[in-house]
Structure formats: C-alpha cells, structure tokens
C-alpha cells in the first residue's frame, strides 16, 4: 500500500489525468460483462421490465434450473453437446497451431516461387467474413463426404488467414543470423522449427489460440449446415435453439434460459482471455499491428 501511494505521488498531473481517463474507459468497456452476469440472474419479471434494469434487483437461480431441467429431458443429453464442443475445440486448436506455424515459418524465412502471390491471397482472405464462404464450405464438405463427422467441424477452421498473418509477422522479428547459426551447428529444419521458432513465437501461439478457441467455441455454422445427425452438433447450436424450441416455439418463454446459457458460453472465453492477455499484448507489439 505504501509503495502504491509513493507511485501516485511521483506521477505528474498529466499522468494522473491520463490514468483517470484510462480507468474510466476500462470501467465503461466492462459494462457489457457486468450486464451479461446480471442478466443471467434476473427473474422473468425483470427480463422484460420497462425501463430495462442494468443491475439485477432480485437475483435468482431459476434460469439455470430451467436450463438444466430442459437439457435433462432432451432426446440428446446436454453432456453430448458439451463433449462435441470440447473435442472440436481441442483438435481444431492443435490443427490451427501446427498448420499456421509451419506456413508462417516458410513464408517468413524461406524463398520460393509465387511467395508474394501466396501472401497476397492470404491478405485478401482477411477481408472475407465467414458468411461469404458458407456455400463453398458446404460444397467442399459434401464433396469430401465428411458430413456428420468431427472432421466436418474441424476442417473449415484449419486454414486460418489471421493465424498465419500474425505468426508470420511475429516470426519476421526472429533474427536470420540466429537460425543460420543453428544450421551451421548441424540442426535440421524440423529441429530449428520445433526447438527455436516455436518457443520464441509462444506469444503469437497464445494469441492465435485465444482467437481460435473463441471462434470455434461459439460457432454454429458447422452444426447448422454440415451436421444432420443431432448427436454430432455442438453446444452453441443447442443453446441457439433454446429460445425457439422452448414453450412450443415461444421465444419469450426461453429468454431466461438463453440468458443463463449465454453466461455459461461467455465464461470460458473470458477465462482464456484473462489467462493469456499478456501474450496478446506482446504479439501485437512485435507483429506491428496498430
């Protein structure tokens, strides 16, 4: 406490004003998180109160009780959707890290024909929203005949332009002399990649891990388009059906369960981000992303 007071005393007026502005900005940006948490514990009367309430007045667990009660009576158990989501997230994460790291290393430290064209295609792919490639993805999945399989969930995420771009920008910061010295000592390309490039690029790996987890964990496109078997669908898809399937299609009756489910879906993303936020800042600093 004494150290904190001394730090405040050493600050100039401009630094103090900047600190206050940043604290107010952080408090403002945290309002959506506060709302999600409070919204999940609102009773039915507060969910549709006018004017809307931001902070819950009479918190209740009824929304979570209804959610778990409904999931226990479904044809497909809740644990099956959760299991599918966990499996898809884990294997997609591994595939994205391996493919993006290898592609970025080759693009950053090797010279070959059409390198500029490939980088141009990757940069162009950053402009496309997932919805614009839904039909090509569906045609590809159908052509490969991997509907109703875990591979049908994983494959659309493996080619990640954002992950390749961030990794390439980060690997560019690794001195070429360091890699050349390793080659002189007799290290193979694989040894250089796994023993030097990947450990040095861990901040970027952590960043693309967060981006991948958040994207895959909340994805409903694969379950909607590629999966006809209910047992192969993921948790986000099931949660989106709560508001429409509850009470015979009455979307109002399902809002409480949707609020509770939304909080449960949000918490893993929050915990993952808080655990790796320092690595994200390091990646943005070294990758030159403004």
Q: Residue 137: inside a domain, yes or no?
A: yes
Q: Residue 219: inside a domain, yes or no?
A: yes
Helices (H) and strands (E) in the chain, counts: 18, 0
Domain count along the chain: 2
Rounded to whole angstroms, the Cα distance separating 223 from 240 reads 11
Res 267 pLDDT > 70: yes
Rounded to whole angstroms, the Cα distance separating 6 from 216 reads 45
Least confident of 80-89, 113-122, 247-256, 281-290: 281-290
Token pair 């405040």 is found at 8
Instruction: Place 87 in a pLDDT band, splitting at 50, 70 and 90.
Output: very high
Residues 17, 96, single domain; the answer is no
Instruction: Place 88 in a pLDDT band, splitting at 50, 70 and 90.
Output: very high
| CB neighbourhood size of 191 (10 A) | 13
pLDDT, tens digit (0-9, with 9 covering 90-100), for 185-207: 888 888 888 888 888 888 888 88
Instruction: Give me the pLDDT at residue 124, please.
Output: 86
Q: Residue 288: inside a domain, yes or no?
A: no
- Contact by Cβ (8 Å): 126, 161: yes
Q: Residue 135: inside a domain, yes or no?
A: yes
Instruction: Place 17 in a pLDDT band, splitting at 50, 70 and 90.
Output: confident
- The secondary structure of 104-115 as a DSSP string is HHHHHH---TTH
Q: Residue 247: inside a domain, yes or no?
A: no
Using a pLDDT cut of 70, give the percent of the chain over it. Answer: 86
CA nearest to 215, candidates 93, 40, 78, 81? 93
**HSE-up (13 A, CA, CB side) for residue 119:** 17
Residues 21, 85, single domain; the answer is no
pLDDT, tens digit (0-9, with 9 covering 90-100), for 211-264: 888 888 888 888 888 888 888 888 888 877 766 654 444 556 667 777 887 888
Q: For residue 230, give the CATH number of its domain.
A: 1.10.3720.10
pLDDT, tens digit (0-9, with 9 covering 90-100), for 22-39: 888 988 888 888 888 888
Res 285 pLDDT > 90: no
| Structural domain boundaries enclosing 188 | 76-240
Extract the runs of DSSP E, i.e. beta strands, from 144-242. Answer: none
Residues 168, 128, single domain; the answer is yes
Rounded to two decimals, the pTM is 0.78
Average pLDDT score over residue span 29-52: 81
Average pLDDT score over residue span 171-190: 85
Instruction: Give me the pLDDT at residue 125, please.
Output: 83
Q: Residue 257: inside a domain, yes or no?
A: no
Residues 117, 224, single domain; the answer is yes
Q: Residue 260: inside a domain, yes or no?
A: no
Residues 147, 186, single domain; the answer is yes
Residues 81, 56, single domain; the answer is no
Q: Residue 284: inside a domain, yes or no?
A: no
- Contact by Cβ (8 Å): 215, 103: no
| Cis peptide, bond prior to residue 51, ω within 30 of zero | yes
Residues 22, 88, single domain; the answer is no
- Contact by Cβ (8 Å): 160, 130: no
Residues 61, 93, single domain; the answer is no
Res 97 pLDDT > 60: yes
């Amino acid at each position: 406490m004494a150290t904190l007071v001394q730090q405040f005393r050493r600050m100039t007026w401009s630094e103090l004003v900047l600190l206050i502005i940043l604290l107010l900005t952080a408090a403002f940006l945290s309002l959506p998180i506060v709302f999600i948490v409070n919204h999940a514990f609102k009773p039915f009367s507060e969910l549709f109160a006018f004017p809307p309430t931001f902070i819950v007045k009479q918190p209740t667990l009824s929304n979570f009780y209804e959610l778990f009660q409904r999931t226990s009576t479904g044809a497909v158990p809740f644990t099956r959707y959760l299991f599918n989501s966990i499996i898809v997230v884990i294997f997609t994460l591994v595939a994205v890290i391996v493919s993006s790291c290898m592609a970025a290393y080759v693009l950053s430290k090797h010279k070959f024909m059409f390198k500029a064209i490939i980088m141009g295609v990757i940069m162009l792919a950053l402009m496309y929203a997932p919805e614009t490639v839904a039909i090509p993805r569906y045609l590809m999945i159908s052509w490969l005949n991997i509907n109703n399989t875990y591979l049908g969930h994983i494959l659309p995420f493996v080619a990640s332009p954002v992950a390749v771009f961030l990794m390439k920008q980060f690997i560019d910061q690794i001195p070429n002399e360091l890699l050349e010295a390793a080659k002189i000592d007799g290290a193979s390309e694989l040894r250089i990649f796994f023993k030097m490039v990947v450990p040095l690029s861990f901040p970027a790996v952590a960043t693309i891990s967060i981006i991948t987890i958040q994207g895959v964990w909340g994805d409903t496109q694969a379950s909607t388009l590629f999966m006809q078997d209910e047992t192969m669908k993921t948790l986000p898809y099931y949660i989106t059906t709560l508001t429409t399937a509850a009470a015979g299609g009455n979307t109002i009756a399902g809002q409480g369960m949707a609020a509770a489910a939304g909080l449960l879906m949000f918490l893993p993303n929050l915990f993952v981000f808080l655990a790796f936020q320092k690595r994200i800042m390091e990646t943005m600093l070294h990758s030159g992303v403004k």
